[in-house]
Amino acid sequence: MAPSSEPSYPSGLVWFRRDLRANDHAALHRALTQCQQVHCVFVFDREILDALPQADRRVEFIHASLVELDETLRALSGQEQGGLIVLHAVSSDAIPALADTLGVQAVFANHDDEPRALERDSLVRTRLAAAGKAMHTFKDHTILERSEVLTQTGNPYSVFTPYKNAWLKKVDVFQLTSYPVERHTRRLACRPQEHCLPVPTLASMGFEATALAQLKLPTGASGAQQLFDDFLGRIERYDDTRNFPAVKGPSYLSVHLRFGTISPRLLARTAHTLMLKGNPGASTWLSELIWRDFYFQILHHHPHVVTQSFKPAYDAIQWESGAEADALFAAWCEGRTGYPLVDAAMAQINQTGYMHNRLRMVVASFLVKDLGIDWRWGETYFATHLNDFDLAANNGGWQWASSSGCDAQPYFRIFNPVSQSEKFDPEGKFIRRYLPQLAGLPTKALHAPWLARPLELQEAGVRLGNNYPLPVVDHDVARKRTLERYAVVKAATAG
């Protein structure tokens, strides 16, 4: 991967998007090896930001990560005027305009397969071409993408296990090797005087600071590495600990994968190596990374999943609607369902922007199969509140929970929120953390307070219907209604 003796372009522009790091970066490496001089830019895209609330943890995470990236690029360039050009504008206008101002011959970026991003990139590519400039994009956000893993008949997989097996056969040293950016950084260009500015402040873009710092979520590439180093010390136990929200089991790297502050190649290479050495936790964690690739290739081949069910028959389901459905949805959003594990999970996402993966399945199943609410309502809520929101994974997870997606759980599999609570938060530590009003209850009564004895409730200061709600629905009754609701699917698939 050494640079050619005669680069293809005198100068190029690297457009950072969901890849906020300077190491092991496909587009940056390609630009450095193909251009004599390389400029770097990030655009706070107004087409995205203008629709967000004034306080958004994700914008603050990006901002902090960009400050670090700017410092890193400046250090790598060896020039005080080096670093990152950061704009607050509409990307499809700003990138062609900047390319013209800088006099570059090509723009380099990494793939983004979300539909809106593809439309944006197509427009930018067209505008650049009209000015005689090229746009090159590369795989970076996943290990294997798009049509790299296909069935023997040349079709995309729709079931995970055979996809995983094919992925494991396909992956090789090249796919897992890092791009050696550092050896070529002498080609990083100085910024023009008018762009030698610090990263715009949140306030200057109309945003307020959030409680991100209080959440102790480390930002930037250094923060991602810190979390990864910590996870490696306990990865062997991941298979045993990952399902218990009160236990430090996950890697907590999802937001860093979302914004590319850590290389997926580093993570997959490490997990793959440990798996081959017989590490059970690494094997399970690698499967989670492969699930991520799987959902991205589903989005690429089946973009209709953004608004419709992967399985068309599921769009015939009649979901609850009207004032009662609105009230039930509000209770779910605000953690007022009367089911402690569900309510604690919703308190977690509302307070922190994070939700444990096991709980994502529990609350999604509850919304769809206990309350009869359209999965798209929940998907949208998660999209608004999750720090690590990623369209492919979020859509895939919600369609899995509603049984409408590829390789989803059967429609008749309906999580019991009480048994899930007893199994995965057996001591009630997670519930007590997020629902302090229930903390005084005996553990046995904590999972279903409405079944507690009056004296237990009194001694714990719990007043059902007052400081903690009664259940908004009876799970057994709801289960029967769900089976009836999904009968239309059974009939369609039988036919």
- Is residue 15 annotated as a catalytic residue, yes or no? no
Which is catalytic among the residues 291, 332, 377, 400? 291
- Is residue 357 annotated as a catalytic residue, yes or no? yes
Lookup result for tokens 């939700």: 355
- Is residue 319 annotated as a catalytic residue, yes or no? yes
Q: Which of 174, 175, 173, 149 is nearest to 161 (CA)?
A: 149
Which is catalytic among the residues 167, 285, 377, 398? 398
What is the biggest distance separating any 2 CA atoms in the chain, rounded to whole angstroms?
Answer: 83
Which is catalytic among the residues 167, 375, 377, 400? 375
Q: Which of 462, 390, 366 is nearest to 17 (CA)?
A: 390
- Is residue 332 annotated as a catalytic residue, yes or no? no
State how far the alpha carbon of 253 is from the alpha carbons of 118, 213, 256, 260, 268, in Å. Answer: 25, 16, 5, 10, 13
Q: Round the CA-based radius of gyration of the chain to a whole number and report it.
A: 24
- Is residue 398 annotated as a catalytic residue, yes or no? yes
Please count the other Cβ atoms lying within 10 Å of the Cβ belonging to residue 323. Answer: 7
Which is catalytic among the residues 319, 320, 350, 456? 319
- C-alpha dihedral sign at 13, 16, 17, 19: positive
Which is catalytic among the residues 145, 357, 450, 456? 357
Long-range contacts of 274-278 (CB under 8 A, 24+ apart): 274/235
Which is catalytic among the residues 71, 288, 320, 422? 288
With beta carbons less than 8 A apart as the criterion, state whether 36 and 11 touch: yes
> Amino acid letter at 495?
G
- Burial of residue 25, with CB atoms counted within 10 A of its CB: 0-12 exposed, 13-18 middle, 19 or more buried: buried
With beta carbons less than 8 A apart as the criterion, state whether 112 and 140 touch: no
- How far apart, in whole angstroms, are the C-alpha atoms of residue 179 and residue 303? 30
Residues 229, 180, 191, 21, Cα dihedral to 10°: -30
Q: Which of 223, 176, 190, 200 is nearest to 59 (CA)?
A: 200
- C-alpha dihedral sign at 332, 334, 338, 343: positive
Catalytic positions, written as ranges? 288, 291, 319, 357, 375, 398
